[in-house]
Chain A
Amino acid sequence: MKTVALTRHRHEQSTLTQHRAGRAAKGSAPHGPRRNNVAGYLYVAPAVLVVVGIVYFAIVYTLRISVLDWDGLSPDPVAVGLDNYVRLVEDAVFWRSLGHMAMFALAVLVQMALGLGFAILLHSGVRAKTLYKVLLFLPVVLAPAVMAPVFRQIFDADGELNTMLRAVGLDALAHPWLADPSTALYALITINVWQWTGFSFVLYYAGLTQVDASLIEAARIDGAGNWRVISSLLIPLTRGTTVTLAILGVIGTIKTFDIPYLVTGGGPARSTEVLATYLYQQGITDFHVGYGAALTVVLMIMSLVLTVSQVRRFKLGSEA
């Protein structure tokens, strides 16, 4: 009782400054009348200013530029209405770059399967666990930009991959991987899988730690073998992680730029172009700023759709 009285006393006193009243309302009476703590705006201001000033500004400005025929320099750009968007719909390179991104997104499944496999194996009493964990995860923290020359060398016509193939008598498979439009995309996807499998692995590894060992034991007693345990227990029990990884994988796909730009430059014959490299080439390298902006709008829409789907998840989830 005493505490309550004290709190009330304090409460009345502190209404002198709105600042404190806000805290009081919040801390002691979550169901009471909500007070407005003006300090809140000040605390949120820096983050909001930076995000609105950069990202929101960029969105609005991109929409504005996307209806212009402009080289980015001339003082009087020509307004062309929706011409850039019409051009985009008719642009085969644009559609191909979307197709390539879809391939990158599909390869996320490979990453996830590998990650889950490694996580299960490393939960099964393997020696030197930390060593394998470190080796698998290392690619995640390395800059793709810095690894690009290494991969150019590996996939080169005279590179290590072909040397190895020849060494084991598979000369027929040796191939100028990056110079051939039919294989270049797969080489880049391989690099992507190399880089991100460790990420899937770490999440699955953590997810599996939470699996109740007695469940597995019970299944074993009922005569379940390893495959049965994986398919009927481990895969369903890590479903949350799987969904998270799938979403993060798609987000990663729309961010893809460094590897195609640096390893193949979107070539040969546009076979590895993705939206980010294409808009960079159009908007920055070739000074087709209006068209580059229209391409950017598509990328922004993809990002916003993903964000909305994510935010829904956070609303539904336990995060309050």
Chain B
Amino acid sequence: MLEIRGAAGRVATQLLITVLVAPFVFPLWSMLQGSLAGDGLGNYSSVLGLPQLPAFFRNSLLIAVCTVVLVYASTMLASFALAKLPFVGKEVLFYVLLLALTMPSAALTVPLFITVQRLGLLDSFVAVILPLTALAIPLNVLLARGFIAALPDELFEAARLDGCGTLRTFWHLVLPLIRPISAVVVVWTFVGAWNEYLLPLLFLQSPTNQTITQLPQFFSTQYGSDQTKIIAGAVIITLPTVIVYLALQKLFERGLTAGAIK
């Protein structure tokens, strides 16, 4: 888009972008370096040797997978109905869902903490999964409904002529056709749930029930001021996310543009 003249210009541009990107890489580089200070790789073996570590990962995975399943199922069913089925009051229901579009999880802390305590659900994963699901549904319905609405009505008419009920239509027609948007819903819901800090902090209190976002604090109590091990822990927690992102890079970007550009 810019006109860059000559080899010198091209080299200068390349240099400029490298210099500008460097500060964005710096924290990652600093993280790697910090994790190797002191005991070197010993920091890693010490962190990996913690008996609690697998449980943290398992809990995060469990919460993220359950959230994805619930969000996916409820979002797609609702989006299909809101896009293609006629029923009275559907606009109202759509706006009922959208109300939570920008609700931050911090806004749920006080009311839900009291409620969860009263229901005796403290320290149970449900207390994290359900609020995460509720907060993720609106945006995903917005995305998926728009996508399904854009599918040609003729397809649905043909399915109906073939004697397909709504459930079969949903299963055999809608689900295969919405794969592109499904991938987006799944990936971003997973990332959101995996990275969530506040809700697990609030509701999961016993050490065996914590999630990976609680690890840095857990390490602080384990290692006190030994910052290098805490940073090594951060690298270990970050690594799966980085790998998944690198593997699905295109998908992540497509998700953003699908969601934000019309």
Contacts and interface: CB of A to CB of B under 8 A. Distances in A.
B111 interface: yes
Interface in B84-124: 84-88, 90, 93, 95-115, 117
B241 A36 contact: no
Contacts of B39: none
A43 B80 contact: yes
B106 A47 contact: no
Of the four ranges (under 10, 10 to 19, 20 to 34, 35 or more), the interface on chain A belongs to: 35 or more
B111 A206 contact: no
A34 interface: yes
Interface stretch (A86-94, A102-110, A137-145, A170-178): A137-145
Contact of B2 (A23, A54, A121, A145): A121
Contacts of A139: 24, 27
B253 A303 contact: no
Q: Residue among B95, B216, B252 with the most chain A CB within 10 A?
A: B216
Contacts of B134: 50-51, 53-55
B169 to A, nearest CB: 8
A142 B238 contact: yes
B102 A134 contact: no
A179 interface: no
Contact of A50 (B102, B130, B142): B130
A211 to B, nearest CB: 8
Contacts of B249: 134, 137
Contacts of A296: 106-107, 109-111
A37 interface: yes
B99 A141 contact: no
Contacts of B241: 141-143
A24 B1 contact: no
B78 A126 contact: no
B160 A197 contact: no
B78 to A, nearest CB: 4
Given A40-B86, A118-B17, A125-B4, A48 B93 contact: yes
A223 B119 CA distance: 71
Interface in B17-37: 17, 20-21, 23-28, 30-31, 34
A81 B115 CA distance: 22
B58 interface: no
A247 to B, nearest CB: 9
B153 A27 contact: yes
Contact of B216 (A26, A126, A148, A289): A148
B85 A143 contact: no
B237 interface: yes
A163 B104 CA distance: 37
Interface string A241-255: 100110010010011
B156 interface: yes
A87 to B, nearest CB: 15
B109 A280 contact: yes
Interface in A288-315: 289, 292-293, 296, 299-300, 303-304, 306-307, 310-311, 314
Given A40-B86, A51-B137, A143-B194, 16 more contacts: A27-B160, A39-B81, A40-B85, A40-B90, A46-B77, A58-B112, A61-B114, A117-B20, A134-B249, A141-B245, A197-B24, A203-B261, A206-B261, A257-B104, A283-B110, A307-B99
Please give me the 8 A-B residue pairs with the lowest Cβ-Cβ distance, nearest first.
Answer: A40-B87, A276-B106, A43-B81, A27-B157, A54-B134, A143-B195, A47-B78, A145-B197
Interface of A: 6-7, 10, 14, 19-20, 22-28, 30, 34-41, 43-44, 46-48, 50-59, 61-62, 65, 72, 114, 117-118, 120-127, 132-139, 141-151, 153-154, 160, 194, 197-199, 202-203, 206-208, 211, 216, 220, 225-226, 229-230, 234, 240-241, 244-245, 248, 251, 254-255, 257-258, 261-262, 275-276, 279-280, 283-284, 289, 292-293, 296, 299-300, 303-304, 306-307, 310-311, 314, 317-320
Interface of B: 1-4, 10, 13-14, 16-17, 20-21, 23-28, 30-31, 34, 70, 73-75, 77-78, 80-82, 84-88, 90, 93, 95-115, 117, 130-131, 133-135, 137-138, 141-142, 146, 149, 153-154, 156-157, 160-161, 165-167, 169-170, 191, 194-195, 197-198, 202, 212-217, 220, 227, 230-231, 234, 237-238, 241-242, 245-246, 249, 252-253, 256-257, 260-262
